[in-house]
Structures are given as C-alpha cells and as structure tokens.
C-alpha cells in the first residue's frame, strides 16, 4: 500500500469515528420524555402536520454530513 492510499484510509477511518461520536453526543443531549409529557406538548403545540412545510428546516444533511445549513 502506498503512502497516499494509507493516508486516505486513515482519514476515512477518523472521519467515520468522529461521525459515530457525534451521533452519540446527539443521543446524549436529546432528553427523553414520558408519554404524558409528549401528550402535554402535543396539546400545547399541536402536531407537526398542523404546520406549513415552510416553517421547517430539513437538517438531515447537516447532522449526517456536518455541512452548514
């Protein structure tokens, strides 16, 4: 294996590791709630289906790829 291929392999491995750690951090930071708490939230704020699509920002790519919004 040449030096450049090894360097790319290491970079990709580190990138994967950081992605896994980032997802673990997100999981730790998002609080869990009881069914009762969720019901209270739904009663106060309604369902996401009640809001217009323009009121949402799809952050999937930002979370999975780390790109800016």
Judged on CB neighbours under 10 Å (0-12, 13-18, 19+), 5 is exposed
Domain ranges (residues) in the chain: 3-60
pLDDT number for residue 68:
55
pLDDT tens for each residue of 9-46: 999 999 999 999 999 998 899 888 999 999 999 999 98
At residue 67, does pLDDT exceed 60?
no
Chain centroid to CA 11: 21
Instruction: Report how far apart the first and last C-alpha atoms of the chain are (Å, whole number).
Output: 37
3-state helix/strand/coil string of the chain: CCHHHHHHHHHHHHHHHHHHHHHHHHHHHCCCCCHHHHHHHHHHHCCHHHCCHHHCCCCHHHHHHCCCC
2-6, 8-12, 39-43, 56-60 — which is least confidently predicted?
Answer: 56-60
């Amino acid at each position: 294996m040449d030096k450049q291929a090894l360097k790319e392999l290491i970079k990709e491995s580190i990138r994967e590791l950081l992605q896994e750690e980032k997802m673990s951090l997100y999981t730790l930071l998002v609080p869990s709630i009881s069914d009762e708490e969720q019901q209270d939230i739904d009663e106060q704020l309604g369902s996401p289906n009640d809001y217009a699509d323009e009121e949402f920002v799809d952050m999937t790519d930002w979370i999975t790829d780390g790109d800016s919004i």
